């Protein structure tokens, strides 16, 4: 179901449901949002975000942003979505070229049109979100923000209000239920699953791996020779305790290690060759199961490594990965069914778009994407295998059919 929620980029998920701010014309029906908006709680007040950049100019005009089968897509909603997005770029200190602004206009209008199409299809399919379901799901979602103070801080950072968040959330629920119904007939039979495994068996081959724990005595970014000598002496003292102590290595790691893995007894999990920095990897592979290394120096500091286990290269059997393949194929087919339905709805609908990005500006931009802001002063570069100054690498993701 989460895959369904991720379809139709969430940047402007709920924008269409704020259309109540624009008055309908006499000869044009409007999006029925007054009832939805009335159920949303009062907005949590937030302070206006400060920015050193000038606000982006909104498209000129006063009419709707678009119409879908005669239903207006509010310009006010478009303006709010466009402004909030530009403010997020500015807060993140991204440079926003004119071409990006023009593409953003097209993207927002397209998403608003899609949301209106979904709303209209929900009505045709008799799909509704009841008050009880809406409130129960909101209560679960609200918990993710933590305390009231954390929630208000989030709203302030995002430059939005609780009313906007609720409307977007309600739009998500409706979309989820529509897509669920659209994809309800999707099936994946046994033959399809087996064929995918046979055609992609290399995906399910694992290299040999080692599981290890470590204790780290961390180096500062640019240690002086006296500092290194002192740290090495400290590490030797810990190594001596490890060799003589009857305590489990994991307890000693929790006591002495200066790495975040100390909270799990120094456990680095399973890793293959190429995942760790070279000195660490070579030491781990030379050890026998249960054996503890001497001091191993890397750019991060001095490590004491204990090899816990080893497993050889293998190909996962079909039965082990069958459920994963089945879920992946089903998710892919659900997405295909949703995309097909969206295309059909667009083709059948009478859509008029009144806010468009300037194609000449978009085409003229041949410069690469804007660079993200770099790390702050004193930041250490992440090195292979032990990111974040000695933390373990991310666990390998399960192989999927996608």
pLDDT of residue 366: 54
Q: What does the angle CA 232 – CA 233 – CA 235 come to, to the nearest 5 degrees? A: 65
CB 384 within 8 A of CB 279: no
Q: What does the angle CA 365 – CA 366 – CA 367 come to, to the nearest 5 degrees? A: 95
CB 5 within 8 A of CB 118: no
pLDDT of residue 56: 67
Q: Which residue has the tokens 């979505």?
A: 81
In the structure encoding, which two tokens stand for residue 337, read together?
A: 């069914």
- Nearest Cα neighbor of 20 from 58, 82, 76, 84 is 76
Q: Which residues of 312-351 are buried (b: 16+ CB within 10 A; e: fewer)?
A: eeeebeeeebbebbbebbbbbbbbebbeebbeebeeebeb
pLDDT of residue 14: 40
Distance CA 114, CA 346 (A): 8
Three-state secondary-structure class, residue 53: coil
Sign (positive or negative) of CA dihedral 267, 273, 274, 278: positive
- Nearest Cα neighbor of 293 from 376, 210, 358, 377 is 210
User: Distance from CA of residue 137 to its chain's centroid?
Assistant: 21
- Number of Cβ within 10 Å of residue 200's Cβ equals 13
CB 119 within 8 A of CB 18: no
The string of pLDDT tens digits covering residues 51-71 is 335 566 788 888 999 999 999
CB 356 within 8 A of CB 109: yes
pLDDT of residue 321: 96
* Sequence-separated (6 or more) residues with CB below 8 Å from residue 342: 8, 114, 117
pLDDT of residue 54: 56
Q: Enumerate domains of the chain plus CATH numbers.
A: 2-187+330-371 (1.10.4030), 208-312 (3.10.50.40)
Q: Report residues of the chain scoring pLDDT below 70.
A: 1-56, 366-402
Q: Record the pTM.
A: 0.57
């Amino acid at each position: 179901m989460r895959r369904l929620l991720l379809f139709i980029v969430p940047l402007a998920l709920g924008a269409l449901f704020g259309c109540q701010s624009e008055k309908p014309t006499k000869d044009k029906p409007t999006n029925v949002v007054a009832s939805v908006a009335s159920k949303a709680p009062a907005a949590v007040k937030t302070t206006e975000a400060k920015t050193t950049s000038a606000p982006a100019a909104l498209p000129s005009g006063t009419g709707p942003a678009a119409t879908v089968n005669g239903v207006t897509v509010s310009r006010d909603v478009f303006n709010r979505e466009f402004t909030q997005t530009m403010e997020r770029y500015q807060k993140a200190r991204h440079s926003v070229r004119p071409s990006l602004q023009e593409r953003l206009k097209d993207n927002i209008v397209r998403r608003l049109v899609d949301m209106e199409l979904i709303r209209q299809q929900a009505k045709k399919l008799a799909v509704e979100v009841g008050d009880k379901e809406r409130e129960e799901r909101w209560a679960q979602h609200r918990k993710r923000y933590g305390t009231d103070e954390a929630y208000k801080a989030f709203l302030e950072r995002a430059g939005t209000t609780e009313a906007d968040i609720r409307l977007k959330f309600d739009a998500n629920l409706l979309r989820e239920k529509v897509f669920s119904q659209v994809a309800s007939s999707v099936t994946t039979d046994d033959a399809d699953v087996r064929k995918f495994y046979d055609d992609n068996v290399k995906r399910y081959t694992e290299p040999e791996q080692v599981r290890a724990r470590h204790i780290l005595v961390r180096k500062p970014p640019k240690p002086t020779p006296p500092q290194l000598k002192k740290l090495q002496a400290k590490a030797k003292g810990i190594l001596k305790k490890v060799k003589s102590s009857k305590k489990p290595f994991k307890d000693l790691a929790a006591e002495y290690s200066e790495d975040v893995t100390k909270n799990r007894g120094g456990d680095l999990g399973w890793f293959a060759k190429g995942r760790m920095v070279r000195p660490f990897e070579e030491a781990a592979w030379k050890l026998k199961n249960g054996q503890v290394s001497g001091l191993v120096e890397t750019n991060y500091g001095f490590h004491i490594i204990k090899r816990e286990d080893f497993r050889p290269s293998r190909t996962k059997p079909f039965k082990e990965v069958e459920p994963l393949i089945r879920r992946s194929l089903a998710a892919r087919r659900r997405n295909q069914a949703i995309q097909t339905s969206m295309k059909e709805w667009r083709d059948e609908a009478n859509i008029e778009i009144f806010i468009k990005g300037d194609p000449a500006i978009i085409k003229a931009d041949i410069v690469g994407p804007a660079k993200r802001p770099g790390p702050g002063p004193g930041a250490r570069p992440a090195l292979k295998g032990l990111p974040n100054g000695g933390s373990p690498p991310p666990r390998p993701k399960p192989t999927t059919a996608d």
